[in-house]
Structure 1
Amino acid sequence: MSKISSNAFADTKPHYNLLDGLRGVAALLVVWYHVNEGFGFAGAVNGVGDGSIKNFNHGYLAVDFFFILSGFVIGYAYDDRWNKGFSMKEFFKRRLIRLHPLVVAGVVLGAITFFIHGSVQWNGTQVATSLTMLAMLCTLFFIPAIPGSGYEVRGNGEMFPLNGPLWSLFFEYIGNILYALFIRRLSTKVLGALVVVLGIALTWFATFNISTYGSIGVGWTLDTVNFLGGSLRMLFPFTMGMFLSRIFQPVKVRGAFWIGSAALVALFSVPFLGPVEPVSMNGIYESFCILIAFPILVWLGASGATTDKISTAICKFLGNISFPLYVVHYPFMYLFYAWLIKSKLYTFGDSWAMSLGVMAWNVLLAYACLKLYDEPVRRYLAKRFLKQN
């Protein structure tokens, strides 16, 4: 197995090199998915089309892949520590130091881009600066916005309207709390049973189109169905990843990173599958990806090894930028969407230069945030607040 040494401010165990690389690939694919999302959104706002995403239809499943990776890494990193004097307080400090500095950056960038956009909702309604500041404060403390409230400033129901994808970090925090309080105490057999029950529940939700969206792309807004769906989207892959970390035995595989990367591109590129009644064909496909394909990819990624400096460097770079890229890219998607709406452009062919520029800008921004902000801040916080192992 290929692992690289942890940084001084990271968790003390080494981490899997190829899994880092696959996480980075998935993060890039999320950005590409959101680029394509913009074409449908701009069309819907201007009354052209139904707002559906025409290309790269299943990129939202990257979130579910992130959750299974997170569960695997947390189980691997912490399961054997609890009987060695490791405390819940120490766990939460480590997770906050790992995640929240970039959350702060993502919120600040969200507020800045909202001001650049003119502090207006998508329908043109002006938003008071005080409400934007309230939205910013609530997001910093992960207090979700109620749809239709004054501090739900963009007007399209997002849980965190200054940086929409933070909804998944909200559920990630819930998963971390449940792990520390409850899941870590389960035996492997009981954890496996819980995974089966959650897998059945997730399959039911997706296959019978409980969301009525025609997809499992839920969790981003605060209503009953979205909270249920978002919880299932987190809980099953999160616990599955932990279960895999406990039973993992490497298999011999060559080219695991390239196989996994190609598989993610292929899985996310599958067009929307209909019909949705009496059962959703798209939901069956989503269930296949989350319950079967993603665990296999995690197992292969954990089993594989980089064999040359180039692939090692690629995996390290992609792993390093994966979380910054996910957290900081969407504020600039709002500006991109506003430009598409104003320019009345609804396809990649009409906007290829700007679309590729948005991709490149977000990668560069993520790397800059990592090196100039995230790593120094985490290094300082770790030295200040963590026990040195």
Structure 2
Amino acid sequence: MNAKTLSPELLKTKEHFHILDGLRGVAAVAIVIFHFMEVVFLPAKNFIGHGFLAVDFFFCLSGFVIGYAYDDRIGKMGILAFLKARLIRLHPLVVLGSVLGLLAFLFDPFGMHPEIYSAGRIAVIFLSSVLLIPFPVVSERYFNLFAFNAPAWSLFWEYVANIVYALALYRATRNVLLILTLVAAAAICYIGYTSGNLLGGWSGETFWHGSARISYSFLAGLLIFRSKWIIKSNLGFVGLSVLLLLAFLMPDSKWNWITEPMIVLLYFPLLISLGAGAKLQEGVKKLCIFSGNISYPLYMTHYMVLWLFADYYFSHKPDTTQLFFIITAGTALLVGFAYVVMKVYDIPVRRYFLAKLKKA
């Protein structure tokens, strides 16, 4: 590739949609709370029992942002430069999340017994996590695709979506995108009907559910950008945060197979359209920036604590008051830890590799 292809002008980040960034952080905090709560309560008693749908919101937002950031320059960058840029953006935290998960696996004081696994087996599980090669073999971790960092399943599909975008979707016409989105919507409805919910994708048994979830939401987000379906409103960050949280707080019911697909198919794309067009109040701009910045580090580093919490809960049976303080303090500390990770690790590492890429 020539110098023009990798020029700083093509690699620079465009202006952000700050409200959408802020909503990403709201969704990340919601999924952390959901993961705490699902250890303790069955879905019917979990007040944030649909927090897992935050992943579908992430996917939809990703399609919109990728279209906005790269549609007009990937042809000049080239596929390889695009994939390198995405690797630099995403993979440092994939590696760190795997390291943290390995430490939790080896030094869990509450119940895990790593001695039943050989060093070679642990090394293979760790490498599969670092390289995002699905390897659902650890029964004590419910056969997660990535035993050391469960949320990495969505990053696996994020990479798949980015590769498909680079190879084909960025050149696809809007009509083609619309057809593909409708096909993916049918797949979402089929999974909802046959499984009763959209919770799958994270385990070996439900592996292909993740394909449907990323396919629809990523395509929908890309279609929103290409079609300029942006709705002007005065809802602002606070109003849209409330609307987003309503999806996660939706009660569990026998109609999940209908309500969950409707949230994914219609409600989240609507929120993306509203968020892209909403007016940002200056007073919450810094909050939106902070929320967006810590969202990915929070998502990719929190599950080490969740494994420890789960083993602590089943071994010590804390009461309701203790659980309230543990989950509240744990969530706050994880947000703080995510901020430290962003400042000390993620940003410096990405800057280093971006500098190397620009000099290539």
Same fold (TM over 0.5): yes
- 1:292-331 Cα offsets, whole Å, 9 max, x none, are 11011001110013222x3000000000000000000011
1:44-193 pair list within 5 angstroms: 54-83=46-75, 85-117=76-108, 121=112, 126-147=116-137, 152=138, 154-193=140-179
Alpha carbons of structure 1 residues 184 and 351: separation in structure 2 relative to 1, 3 Å: same
Aligned to 1:315: 288
> Residue deviations 1:158-211, cap 9 Å, x none?
1000111110101111111111112222101111121112112211221x1x23
- State the 1:8 CA deviation: 10
1:236 has 2:216 as partner: yes
8 Å CA contact retained: 2:24, 2:58:
yes
Partner of 1:46: none
Matched residue of 2:318: which SS? Answer: coil
Whether the 8 Å CA contact 2:111–2:311 is kept in 1: the answer is no
Q: Distance in 2 between matches of 1:250 and 1:235?
A: 21
Whether the aligned pair in 1 keeps the contact of 2:112 and 2:311 (CA below 8 Å) is no
Q: 1:53, CA displacement in angstroms?
A: 5.6
Gaps of 5+ in 1: 1-6, 41-49, 275-280
- The one-letter amino acid paired with 1:217 is L
Q: Structure 1 vs Structure 2: percent identity of aligned residues? A: 37
Query: 1:122-143 CA distances to partner (integer Å, 9 max, x unpaired)?
Result: 8x98333432222111111111
1:205 corresponds in structure 2 to 191
Give yes or no for contact 2:111–2:315 (8 Å, CA) kept in 1. Answer: no
CA–CA distance in structure 2, aligned partners of residues 117 and 337 of structure 1: 11
* Equivalent in the alignment of 2:253: 273
RMSD after superposition: 2.3
The count of corresponding residues between Structure 1 and Structure 2 is 353
Deviations 1:211-254 (A, max 9, x none): 3xx3211011123xx12211000100000000001112543311
Deviations 1:273-292 (A, max 9, x none): 11xxxxxx101101111011
Higher helix proportion, which one?
Answer: 2
**Residues 39, 345 of structure 1: 8 Å contact kept:** no
Aligned equivalents of 2:116 and 2:9: distance in 1?
46
Change (3 A) 1:143 1:52: farther
Q: Secondary structure of the equivalent of 1:37?
A: helix
Pairing 1:327–2:319 present? no
**Is 1:256–1:300's contact at 8 Å kept on the other side of the alignment?**
no
Q: State the distance in 1 between where 2:9 and 2:313 align.
A: 43
For 1:154 and 1:250, locate their aligned partners in 2 and report how far apart those are by CA, in whole Å. Answer: 45
Q: Any idea what SS the aligned residue of 2:140 has?
A: coil
> Which ranges in structure 2 are unaligned for 5 or more consecutive residues?
1-7
Cα gap change, 1:307 to 1:256, in 2 (>3 Å): closer
Other structure's SS at 2:347 match: helix
Could you say which residue in structure 2 is the equivalent of 1:355?
A: 327
- Specify the alignment match of 2:35 in structure 1: 34
Whether 1:376 aligns to 2:356 is no
Inter-partner Cα distance in structure 2 for 1:8 and 1:136 = 37
SS at match of 1:15: coil
Instruction: Give how far 1:337 is off.
Output: 1.1
CA distance, structure 1, for counterparts of residue 45 and residue 319 of structure 2: 10
- 2:358 maps to 1:386: yes
- The structure 1 residue matched to 2:232, chosen from 252, 258, 272, is 252
Do the aligned partners of residues 249 and 92 (structure 1) sit closer, same or farther apart at CA in structure 2, a change above 3 Å counting? Answer: same
Quick one: distance in 2 between partners of 1:341 and 1:284? 33
Alignment partners' CA distance in 2, 1:252 and 1:76: 17
Q: Secondary structure at the match of 2:204?
A: coil
1:343 aligns with 2:316: yes
Q: With structure 2 as the length reference, what TM-score do the two structures score?
A: 0.92
CA distance in 2, matches of 1:10, 1:106: 26
Q: Would you say the 8 A contact 1:25–1:261 is kept in 2? A: yes
Q: Distance in 2 between matches of 1:386 and 1:286?
A: 43
Aligned with 2:337: secondary structure? helix
The 1:255/1:146 distance shift into structure 2, 3 A limit, reads closer
The 1-side partners of 2:96 and 2:60 are apart by 25
- Evaluate the alpha carbon distance shift between residue 364 and residue 179 of structure 1 in structure 2; reply closer, same or farther with a 3 A threshold: same
Please give the alpha-carbon distance, in whole angstroms, between the structure 2 residues aligned to 1:8 and 1:363. 33
CA distance in 2, matches of 1:93, 1:247: 27
Give the Cα–Cα distance (whole angstroms) in 2 for the partners of residues 366 and 76 of structure 1: 26
- Is the 2:34–2:51 Cα contact (8 Å) retained in structure 1? yes
Quote the Cα distance in structure 2 between the aligned partners of 1:346 and 1:178. Answer: 48
Contact preservation (8 Å) 2:197, 2:256: yes
Q: CA 1:283–1:387 in 2, change beyond 3 Å: closer, same or farther?
A: farther
